[in-house]
Amino acid sequence: MSERPDQPPITSPRSERVKKVAALTGRSARRRQERFRVEGPLAVHSLLEHRPELAREVFLTERAASDHPELAQLACAAGTPVRRVDEQILRAMLRDQSTGAESTSADGASVTPQGAVAVAALPAEDPARATEAVRALPTSGPLTVLVLHEVRDPGNVGTLIRTADASGADLVLLTRTCADPYSPKAVRAAVGSLFHLPVIAGAEIEDLLAELSTAGIAAAATSGYAAEELFTAELPDRLAWILGNEARGLDEKTLAAAPLAVRIPLAGRAESLNVHTAATVCLFETLRRRRASA
Amino acid sequence: MSERPDQPPITSPRSERVKKVAALTGRSARRRQERFRVEGPLAVHSLLEHRPELAREVFLTERAASDHPELAQLACAAGTPVRRVDEQILRAMLRDQSTGAESTSADGASVTPQGAVAVAALPAEDPARATEAVRALPTSGPLTVLVLHEVRDPGNVGTLIRTADASGADLVLLTRTCADPYSPKAVRAAVGSLFHLPVIAGAEIEDLLAELSTAGIAAAATSGYAAEELFTAELPDRLAWILGNEARGLDEKTLAAAPLAVRIPLAGRAESLNVHTAATVCLFETLRRRRASA
């Protein structure tokens, strides 16, 4: 473990360093510092194991360091400094600076970082990165991409990344108008999956559709009005599922531009599915078919 | 529309009647008043259309009454009194009385009832109701039941009810240790589905398993350690999916007692699925097979 001797231990929850980590709750501070915050042993583990080049600093309580010895080992291998801090310091690193309130999860419960917080380098917001990511995919063979367009809730964005990962998706692309996948709420909801597969934000939907088409990846939208039903539709081997806004779904223009549209069958009286449920059904049906044909 | 002439119009957000509706945010007040609150035109519509016998009172703003004329018609047909109220009164009906804060949704955004709130009769909390509900199911032919055991987050409970409805489930059973499906957060997340199919809370898991077995309904648990994979497992026609706690999943005893256990295939690096994602995959795979064999 590398303890930088030039840095004094953090003893006050009001120290400048603690405040800088706490400030990462806000998007403008993330951009200014070019950093984002990762909370909890599972997510910190995923960062250090799968994206060590992004890790900048790891903060562990005595207890977390002893419960999760692999974190310090991974950090050491990555050349990332690890600091011991008190539980009180770690909690202050998560405190919302505008309100002084502690972070809360989707259900309003107080969030605890369970003894582990990391600070990581924020990937550059450059629309060209989405293009590069699509071009970096294998040029033949089956693959699955998830495209999120105007998904505004950070918890949804994080959960969608986690589900994309679980279903074996190769890439997640977010358009410019989505919630930031590097906000603490999104990072928490993704439970490490943010580091398991490429997740690229900031693209324009028109550019994405053009790039996917060039790469021979069929963009598929879900729509309650589509003629074809998901379970009986032919699904191309190279497929990008496009999911839209929580309240409005996909806009007309994007729907019209997607070469494929399918309807998820609804058997009861529910009028619609939420965006995460719809994505889950599509992604796991894709996985099921891939396994069946393998 | 029936306006009771004996009741004066509600003009103050601090009136006793407004406070009584606002108090329904709390479980003890729901039990004391034997009422729960339904918010938003969609959910109020579902209540009045599918469970009119539960509706006790509907509050509409001028605007909601004009945007959704069917609400007053349905209320009239159900014999439920409708009252016009100002937006300000309606918002006060949703205010948390302990903190004075307005209701917030899962992502922390302020919730607006979009001009419509209803008060409904709270179904009795009697463990015998779950037994009756299972016995009331058709004694032959395919059917799907969703059992939630120790699911603690009200938003999850509501979303699970919505997804069960969308997948054509016949019944949702919640054990005593689940979040209350009649809490405002759960009712909001269910978006009307609470009134589309029978939803029964308060049972003990052991009693449920015994009752399901007697009814010839196979209880199926999901487990990361199960030998059989969901997509290739044989699924009985009469099936009850049992989903467990958000953090811990199902306890060992319940897992052992369920006659069927399947593993949801995970293709990426995600270690697990959240409870709602797991339920979605199981319920829609059941729907897919039912459609394929129909």
Among candidate residues B24, B146, B144, B143, the one with its CA nearest the CA of residue B92: B24
Q: Which residues of B are less than 8 Å from A278 in CB distance?
A: none
In A, minimum Cα distance to B157 occurs at: A107
Nearest to A197 among B268, B271, B287 (CB): B268
CA distance B9 to chain A (A): 34
In A, minimum Cα distance to B229 occurs at: A288
Q: Which residues of A are less than 8 Å from B188 in CB distance?
A: none
Q: Which residues of A are less than 8 Å from B104 in CB distance?
A: 108
Write down the mean pLDDT value for chain A.
Answer: 92
**Are the Cβ atoms of A166 and B276 closer than 8 angstroms?**
no
Among candidate residues B162, B170, B156, B161, the one with its CA nearest the CA of residue B239: B170
> A79, exposed or middle or buried, with CB in 10 Å at 0-12, 13-18, 19+?
exposed
For residue B57, give both structure tokens.
Answer: 């009172």
In B, minimum Cα distance to A161 occurs at: B270
Q: Residue B35: beta bridge partners?
A: B121
Q: Which residues of A are less than 8 Å from B271 in CB distance?
A: 42, 191-192
DSSP symbol at B194: G
Query: What's phi and psi for A119, nearest 5 deg?
Result: -110, 130
CA distance A128 to A132: 6
> In the A/B pair of chains, how many CB contacts fall below 8 A?
136
Q: Which residues of A are less than 8 Å from B231 in CB distance?
A: 288, 291-292
**Are the Cβ atoms of A107 and B154 closer than 8 angstroms?**
yes
Q: How far is the CA of A97 from the CAs of A21, A197, B157, B235, in angstroms?
A: 10, 31, 32, 52
Residues across chain A? 294
User: Is the Cβ–Cβ distance between B254 and B222 less than 8 Å?
Assistant: no
Nearest to A168 among B104, B267, B291 (CB): B267
Residues across chain B? 294
Using the predicted structure, report yes or no on whether residue A72 has a pLDDT greater than 70.
yes
pLDDT in tens, B223-235: 989 999 999 999 9
Most B CBs within 10 A among A98, A107, A111, A246, hence the mutation to make, goes to: A107
The DSSP result for A46-84, as a single string, is: HHHHH-GGGEEEEEE-HHHHHH-HHHHHHHHHHT--EEE
pLDDT in tens, B44-97: 999 999 999 999 999 999 999 999 999 999 999 999 999 999 999 999 999 876
Q: What average pLDDT does range A18-38 have in this prediction?
A: 96
Q: Which residues of A are less than 8 Å from B288 in CB distance?
A: 231, 285
Q: What average pLDDT does range A8-34 have in this prediction?
A: 92
What are the residue ranges in chain B where pLDDT is below 50?
Answer: 1-2, 5-6, 106-109
What pLDDT sits at residue B7? Answer: 60
CA distance A166 to chain B (A): 5
A108-117, A154-163, B131-140, B211-220: segment of lowest average pLDDT:
A108-117
Q: What average pLDDT does range A266-288 have in this prediction?
A: 95
What pLDDT sits at residue B171? Answer: 98
In A, minimum Cα distance to B164 occurs at: A268
Q: Which residues of B are less than 8 Å from A186 in CB distance?
A: none
Using the predicted structure, report yes or no on whether residue A104 has a pLDDT greater than 60.
no
**Are the Cβ atoms of B155 and A288 closer than 8 angstroms?**
no
The residue behind tokens 């919505």 is: B162
What pLDDT sits at residue B140? Answer: 93
In B, minimum Cα distance to A152 occurs at: B107
What pLDDT sits at residue B242? Answer: 98
What pLDDT sits at residue A5? Answer: 43
CA distance A242 to A258: 8
Q: Residue A110: beta bridge partners?
A: A104
Collapsed DSSP state (helix, strand, coil) of residue A180? coil
Q: Which residue has the higher pLDDT, A125 or A215?
A: A215
In B, minimum Cα distance to A171 occurs at: B268
Strand extents, DSSP E, A160-208: 171-175, 199-203
User: Is the Cβ–Cβ distance between A282 and A169 less than 8 Å?
Assistant: no
Q: Which residues of B are less than 8 Å from A155 in CB distance?
A: 106-107
The residue behind tokens 């910190």 is: A44
User: Is the Cβ–Cβ distance between A9 and A83 less than 8 Å?
Assistant: yes
What pLDDT sits at residue B10? Answer: 86
CA distance A104 to A119: 19
Q: What is the ipTM of this complex?
A: 0.91
pLDDT over 70 percentage in chain A: 92
Most A CBs within 10 A among B45, B281, B285, hence the mutation to make, goes to: B281
**Are the Cβ atoms of B277 and A165 closer than 8 angstroms?**
no
> Cα B146 from chain centroid?
11
